Structure 1
């Protein structure tokens, strides 16, 4: 999408996300997708949206069944992945059964990638942190509408609520290498 293209290209976001997905599946870990989608007319949200949801409504983005609500082919679900239905806001926990699924599977660590660095990813990161999950954010597998927003979130917000990690570091950890926490990887 044009709004995030510059950051995606500067970080290699899509290729990195695909690498992370492939490594996660190869390790036998659960992969969960949480796409945002609305019915035409956006009846699921307030009739007076503001902020980012106003932008969504005004641009008719994420309408179920439309191109804008589809998961990008390079990172699309495969058999065995879980697709969370009902995400109607920024936080993947807010209007879904994500918490139930994670806990019922005994999952204690959540690894996040996707769009937007400073919106859906960050909202989900904060909720996962508050719910007691270990949270890892893949800093080169997320994208924002500007480099400044992307850098700000990764530099200042991610370390407060997660362990910011590159895809290479994550893949190495999945392969059995120890990932140690230090001052640059969270509090």
Structure 2
């Protein structure tokens, strides 16, 4: 089956392209480095972003909440994962780690979605509204991490009626097992296409 990514109905969701994830000095980079290097993550993300821009496909930045010291203090049910992010101050607001990587700076016409507090870029943000207002029916989901924000965002997108594409070498995780599960076990239950960067670029 051929998947056609028309510029009028396709959107690229670039999830959490922060320095803390993508730069060697980033707080979370060491945990993802082995997997990221094994799939050539940074180069593939750059290739995809450049290609979709050239094709006229809309780019949506889907950023995680930027940490602040008093996050979750009065929340009923913060998760251990959220509390860990708070403790480490990953993507800290106003910090270098909480800035977008130099290779992924928003350009004129890009849409920056409201920050998500959990894993899904859709939950409690304006992502669904922005996609609908831009006529998007198909979403290509890339960025970090494969088994958390990428999976949650992509799965939520499927539930909302979008055609979902995962790009298995344009993401990373903290372990090879997490990557395998994301693409071989969980991904096929919700994604309409799971491609490599090379396969995607041939269809954009």
Find the partner of 2:172 among 143, 148, 161: 143
- Deviation string 1:19-45 (CA, Å, 9 cap, x unpaired) is 010111011010001111235221488
2:4 corresponding residue in structure 1: none
**Aligned to 1:145, what secondary structure does the other structure show?**
coil
| Contiguous gaps of at least 5 residues in structure 2 | 1-28
2:63 corresponding residue in structure 1: 35
Query: 5-14 vs 79-88, which deviates more?
Result: 79-88
**Aligned-partner Cα distance in 2 for 1:67–1:48:** 29
- Deviation string 1:52-78 (CA, Å, 9 cap, x unpaired) is 212211211122222232222222222
**Aligned-partner Cα distance in 1 for 2:180–2:87:** 27
Find the partner of 1:110 among 139, 159, 168: 139
TM-score, normalised by the number of residues in structure 1? 0.87
**Aligned to 1:142, what secondary structure does the other structure show?**
strand
| Contiguous gaps of at least 5 residues in structure 1 | 175-187
Residue 2 (1) aligns with residue 30 (2):
yes
1:171 corresponding residue in structure 2: 201
Query: 3-12 vs 69-78, which deviates more?
Result: 69-78
Instruction: State whether residues 115 and 121 of structure 2, in contact with CA within 8 Å, keep that contact through their aligned partners in structure 1.
Output: no
2:99 corresponding residue in structure 1: 70
Query: 43-52 vs 163-172, which deviates more?
Result: 43-52
Aligned pairs, number = 174
TM-score, normalised by the number of residues in structure 2? 0.80
**Aligned to 2:139, what secondary structure does the other structure show?**
strand
Instruction: State whether residues 72 and 78 of structure 2, in contact with CA within 8 Å, keep that contact through their aligned partners in structure 1.
Output: no
**Aligned-partner Cα distance in 2 for 1:71–1:38:** 11
1:134 corresponding residue in structure 2: 163
Query: 19-28 vs 86-95, which deviates more?
Result: 86-95
Q: Which has the higher contact order (CA 8 A, sep 6+)?
A: 2
Find the partner of 1:16 among 44, 49, 74: 44
Q: How does 1:51-130 map to 2 (within 5 A)?
A: 51-130=80-159
